[in-house]
Amino acid sequence: MKAYCINLDRRPDRLDHMTRQFNRQGMSFERVPAIDGQRPDVIAQASKCLPSSCGARMSASVYACFQSHREAWRRLVASGEPFALVLEDDLLLADGMAATLENYWIPQDADLVRLETFGTRLHVDAGHGHHFGSRQLLRLRSGHLGAGCYVVSAKAAQLLLAKSTNFNEPVDVFLFGEGGASFDALVTYQMIPSPAVQGKRPISATTNATWSATSITNRFAPGASTPTPRAETPSHRLIRRVKEEFRAHLQGTRYIVVPHG
């Protein structure tokens, strides 16, 4: 299975970061030059997008990111292959990632398989699902944002391209957001634990900051607090948690934080 890594021309540091990780595990990828949100024509195109359902306008960088993923989907469809791995260039990859480039483990009904975790709670099926070595694959039953690392089928890629001719939401909402344009149309699985997570990354190419494995370890440590929506008060968080636990009881799902590893 091919791996397509999306990377901006002006971020060779990120390309080096991903190349080192892939080389360490004996993997290779095809670079997909990312659409640059600083280009005047991209800024102009983004400004023409309609507001989302919540009234938010599409920024040029979010628009460019979506178009970069669309290019990866186009490449998969053109390749004639049944599946591909799509990655962004700011990931920390766990050992054993190379095995995911085989496609024997992908459930027959899968359109998308998330290999990334965002450290937030989500609903998955309560059954045993499918097993892949020490990892488990369970149907995703609620939103789980982030589009940093996922497997997509060629059939799904064709559908995604058709449904995203015009779009007004970020690509992760489009793919994995509950109520997003694709969530109910596709069968999505979550890999547990997830071998990919977005790390603490440099703000610009001129900084000396590094991707911090420590920041990831701390995020998933026992008892660590998980990211919460902006401006959410403790009482609102408690109410949301109670509602989601009740939802899990009614729907027979598990409401969990997916670990990285």
What is the reported pLDDT for 215?
Answer: 45
CATH for 2-226, among 3.10.450, 3.90.550, 1.10.150, 3.40.50?
3.90.550
> Of 35, 38, 31, which is closest to residue 12 (Cα–Cα)?
31
Which amino acid is it at 16?
Answer: D
Tokens of 142: 């609620």
Q: Are 215 and 82 in contact (CB under 8 A)?
A: no
Q: Are 96 and 239 in contact (CB under 8 A)?
A: no
What is the reported pLDDT for 204?
Answer: 36
What is the reported pLDDT for 183?
Answer: 85
Helices and strands of the chain, counted as H and E runs: 7, 12
> Of 72, 83, 84, which is closest to residue 6 (Cα–Cα)?
72
What is the reported pLDDT for 246?
Answer: 84
Reading the chain (261 residues) residue by residue, the pLDDT tens digits are 999 999 999 999 999 999 999 999 999 999 999 999 999 999 999 888 887 766 678 899 999 999 999 999 999 999 999 999 999 999 999 999 999 999 899 999 999 999 999 888 899 999 888 998 899 999 999 988 899 999 999 999 999 999 999 998 899 999 999 877 788 899 999 999 999 998 754 333 333 334 444 444 444 444 444 454 556 688 887 888 888 888 888 888 999 999 888
Q: Are 187 and 113 in contact (CB under 8 A)?
A: no
| C-alpha–C-alpha distance, residues 135 and 157, integer Å | 25
What is the reported pLDDT for 151?
Answer: 97
**Dihedral angle sign, alpha carbons of residues 61, 62, 67, 73:** positive
Residue 1: how many other CB atoms lie within 10 Å: 15
Which amino acid is it at 245?
Answer: E
pTM: 0.86
157 Cβ neighbours under 8 A, 6+ residues apart? 73, 74, 76, 77, 84
Q: Are 77 and 154 in contact (CB under 8 A)?
A: yes
| C-alpha–C-alpha distance, residues 23 and 97, integer Å | 11
Q: Tell me the domain boundaries of the chain.
A: 2-226
Question: How far, CA to CA in Å, does 210 sit from each of 153, 201, 203?
Answer: 33, 6, 10
What is the reported pLDDT for 231?
Answer: 63
Kindly report the three-state secondary structure assignment for every residue of 50-108. Answer: CCCCCCCCCCHHHHHHHHHHHHHHHHHHHHCCCEEEEEECCEEECCCHHHHHCCCCCCC
